[in-house]
C-alpha cells in the first residue's frame, strides 16, 4: 500500500480545490467501499480527503414537492426518513435490501453511487482486468461469469454495478447534483453511470475532482406504489443476482405510466425504457406484464454461466409490476 495522507475537509469549495490540485487524491465518506478497495490494492490514493463531516447531511422538500437528499446522508437515515418511506417506499426498501445495518450506518448516498463492481476478477489482482488496468484483458468474459452482465456489456468488460439504491434512483428519475471547479451541474440519473464500451475503467460521468453534493427526487405520486424486488443467493447480506425497481401508475383500468429499472444485470442501473413505453395504455394483467418483461430482456446476451439471469429478470419484472399495480408493498 502506498503511503497516503489523510485530511478532514473544512468546506466544499476547499475540498474540491484540493482534489483538483492532486488528481491522485480521493474523497472518502463512509469508507465502507474505498477502504476495502485500498486493502485489495485496487486504489492507491495519495491523499484521502475526508468529506464525512461537511454540512451535507440533510433531506429537504424541494419547491415542486420532491426531495433533495444531501450526498452525505447515511443509507440508514435515508431509508428511515418518513417522507422517503411514505412517498418513495421503493427507495427505502432498496437501501434496506443492501449490505448490513452496520454498513448502512456508515455508508453515504454519494459513496453508494460511486461504489465499484464486485466482479471477482476486478477484485483480485491475480487476474487481468480492463477496469483495473486498461488494456490487460477481461478473463470474466470466458470465466466464471454467473454474476455478470446480460445487458449492455462490451468485449472489454462484463461487470455489473452492485448498488441497490441506484436502481431505485434510476426508476425515480432522480438527478445527481455535482460540483466541480467550474461550478455546479446536474446529471440525470440515467446518464450518471456508464456502460463499459471501450472505457470500462470509467464507471460514471463524474469528472475527476467533481464532488457529488446531492441527489434530487422529482415529485412522483405513483411512486407510493413502487416496488423493489431483490433476488439473491441468501436472504440477507448479498448483492443482487437480479433486482427490479418498478412503479405503475393506473388511470381507471389502464396503465398511464410505468417505471422499470433493473439491477445486477448491467454495468449501470438499467432503465427498461422500451418496456415502459409499451406498458403505457395497456391493461394491467399477467399477459401485459409478460410482454413488458420480454421487451425489457430482448437484447439480453447471456454468458456461459448467467443465462438463468435472463429468465429470472423477466420473472422479477412480472412480479414487481403485478405487485405495484395492486398498490405496492413487499414483493
Partner 1 sequence: MNQIIGTSVSRKDGRAKVTGTATYGAEHQLPDLVHGYLITAKIANGRILNIDTQAIERSPGVMAVFTHENMPRVFTPTNDWANSQIYETRLPLADDRVHYGGQIIGLVVADTLERARDAAHSAAIEYQEEPVLVTAENATYEDSPPWFGEDFQFQEGTFETGDFAVAAADAPTTLEATYNTETELNSPMEPHALVAHWQGNDSVTVYEPTQWVRVSQGTYAELFGLPTERVRVVSPYVGGAFGAKAFPWPHGILCVAAARELQRPLKVVVSRRQMTANTGHRSQTEQTVRLAANTDGQLIALEHTARTCTSPVEVFSEPCTAVTPVMYATPNLRLGQELAVLNVGTPTFMRAPGEAPGMFALESAMDELAWELGLDPVELRLRNETQEHQRRGGVFSTKNFAACLSTGAEQFGWSQRQMQPRSQQQGDRLVGWGMAAATFPGYRGAAMAKVRLLPDETAHVLTSANDMGTGAYTMVAMTAAENLGLPVEQVRVEIGDSIMPDGGLAGGSQMTATLAPAVMNACQAVLETANAENAQQAFASLQESGRAAYEATGSAAPGEEGTEFTFQSWGAHFCEVTVDEDIARLQITRWVSVMDIGRVLNAKTAASQIRGGVIMGIGSALMEECHFDPASGHPVVYDLATYHVPAHADIPRIEVTFVGEPDLNFNPMGVRGAGEIGIMGVAPAVANAVYHATGKRIRSLPIIPDKII
**Of 122 and 189, which CB lies nearer to partner 1 in the complex structure?**
122
Rule CB under 6 A: say whether 216 interacts with ligand FAD. no
Q: Are 113 and 204 in contact (CB under 8 A)?
A: yes
Write the binding mask 291 to 330 for ligand FAD: x where contact by CB under 6 A, - elsewhere: ----------------------------------------
Rg from Cα positions in the chain: 19
**Of 283 and 308, which CB lies nearer to partner 1 in the complex structure?**
308
Q: Are 150 and 158 in contact (CB under 8 A)?
A: no
Which residues pair with residue 214 across a beta bridge? 70, 177
**Three-class SS of residue 318?**
helix
Rule CB under 6 A: say whether 239 interacts with ligand FAD. yes
**Cβ neighbours, 10 Å, residue 286:** 10
Closest approach, Cβ 234 to partner 1, in A, equals 5
Closest approach, Cβ 236 to partner 1, in A, equals 4
Q: Are 157 and 267 in contact (CB under 8 A)?
A: yes
30 binds, among partner 1, ligand FAD, none (CB under 5 to 8 A by kind): ligand FAD
**Of 54 and 320, which CB lies nearer to partner 1 in the complex structure?**
320
235 binds, among ligand FAD, partner 1, none (CB under 5 to 8 A by kind): partner 1
Closest approach, Cβ 114 to ligand FAD, in A, equals 3
Q: CA distances (Å), 139 to each of 124, 128, 132, 307, in order?
A: 12, 7, 12, 18
| Binding residue count for ligand FAD, defined by CB under 6 A | 31
- The residue from 28, 141, 272, 321 that contacts ligand FAD (CB under 6 A) is 28
H helices within the chain, ranges in order? 12-21, 34-39, 75-80, 82-87, 89-96, 101-106, 109-114, 120-123, 165-171, 189-192, 273-279, 286-296, 307-325
Write the binding mask 118 to 157 for ligand FAD: x where contact by CB under 6 A, - elsewhere: ----------------------------------------
H/E/C letters for each residue in 64-111? CCCEEEECCCEHHHHHHCHHHHHHCHHHHHHHHCCCCHHHHHHCEHHH
Rule CB under 6 A: say whether 71 interacts with ligand FAD. yes
**Cell numbers describing residue 184:** 455546479
**Of 191 and 233, which CB lies nearer to partner 1 in the complex structure?**
233
Q: How far apart are CA 228 and CA 58, in angstroms?
A: 24
**Of 2 and 86, which CB lies nearer to partner 1 in the complex structure?**
2
Which range touches ligand FAD (CB under 6 A), out of 108-116, 150-158, 264-272, 301-309? Answer: 108-116
**Of 99 and 295, which CB lies nearer to ligand FAD in the complex structure?**
99
**Of 163 and 313, which CB lies nearer to ligand FAD in the complex structure?**
163
Strand order in the sheet with 59-61: 59-61, 67-70, 211-217, 175-180, 183-188
- The residue from 9, 29, 172, 241 that contacts ligand FAD (CB under 6 A) is 29
Which residues pair with residue 28 across a beta bridge? 50
Among the listed residues 270, 281, 275, the one whose alpha carbon sits nearest the alpha carbon of residue 318: 275
Which range touches ligand FAD (CB under 6 A), out of 2-10, 60-68, 95-103, 265-273? Answer: 95-103
**Of 107 and 217, which CB lies nearer to ligand FAD in the complex structure?**
107
Rule CB under 6 A: say whether 33 interacts with ligand FAD. yes
Q: CA distances (Å), 138 to each of 143, 154, 302, 310, 312, in order?
A: 9, 10, 16, 22, 25
Residues found near ligand FAD in the complex (CB under 6 A): 26-34, 36, 51, 71, 75, 98-99, 103, 106-108, 110-112, 114-115, 162-165, 211-212, 239
Amino acid at each position: 500500500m502506498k503511503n497516503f495522507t489523510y485530511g478532514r475537509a473544512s468546506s466544499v469549495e476547499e475540498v474540491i480545490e484540493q482534489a483538483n490540485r492532486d488528481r491522485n487524491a480521493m474523497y472518502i465518506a463512509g469508507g465502507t467501499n474505498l477502504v476495502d478497495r485500498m486493502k485489495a490494492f485496487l486504489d492507491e490514493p495519495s491523499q484521502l480527503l475526508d468529506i464525512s463531516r461537511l454540512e451535507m447531511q440533510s433531506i429537504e422538500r424541494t419547491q415542486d414537492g420532491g426531495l433533495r437528499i444531501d450526498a452525505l446522508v447515511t443509507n440508514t437515515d435515508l431509508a428511515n426518513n418518513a417522507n422517503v418511506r411514505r412517498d418513495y417506499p421503493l427507495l427505502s426498501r432498496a437501501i434496506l435490501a443492501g449490505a448490513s445495518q452496520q454498513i448502512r450506518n456508515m455508508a453515504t448516498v454519494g459513496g453508494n453511487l460511486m461504489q465499484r463492481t464486485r466482479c471477482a476478477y476486478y477484485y483480485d489482482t491475480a487476474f487481468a482486468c480492463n477496469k483495473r488496468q486498461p488494456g490487460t484483458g477481461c478473463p470474466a468474459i470466458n470465466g466464471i461469469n454467473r454474476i455478470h452482465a446480460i445487458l449492455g456489456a462490451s468485449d472489454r468488460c462484463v461487470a455489473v454495478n452492485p448498488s441497490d439504491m441506484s436502481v431505485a434512483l434510476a426508476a425515480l428519475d432522480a438527478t445527481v447534483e455535482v460540483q466541480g471547479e467550474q461550478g455546479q451541474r446536474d446529471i440525470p440519473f440515467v446518464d450518471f453511470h456508464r456502460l463499459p464500451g471501450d472505457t470500462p475503467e470509467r464507471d460514471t460521468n463524474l469528472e475527476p475532482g467533481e464532488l457529488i453534493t446531492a441527489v434530487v427526487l422529482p415529485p412522483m405520486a405513483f411512486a407510493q406504489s413502487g416496488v423493489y424486488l431483490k433476488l439473491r443467493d441468501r436472504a440477507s447480506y448479498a448483492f443482487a443476482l437480479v433486482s427490479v425497481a418498478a412503479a405503475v401508475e393506473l388511470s381507471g383500468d389502464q396503465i398511464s405510466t410505468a417505471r422499470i429499472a433493473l439491477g445486477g444485470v448491467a454495468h449501470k442501473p438499467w432503465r427498461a425504457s422500451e418496456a415502459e413505453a409499451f406498458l403505457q395504455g395497456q391493461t394491467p394483467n399477467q399477459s401485459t406484464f409478460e410482454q413488458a418483461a420480454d421487451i425489457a430482456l430482448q437484447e439480453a446476451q447471456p454468458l456461459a454461466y448467467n443465462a438463468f439471469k435472463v429468465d429470472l429478470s423477466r420473472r422479477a419484472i412480472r412480479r414487481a409490476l403485478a405487485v405495484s399495480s395492486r398498490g405496492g408493498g413487499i414483493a
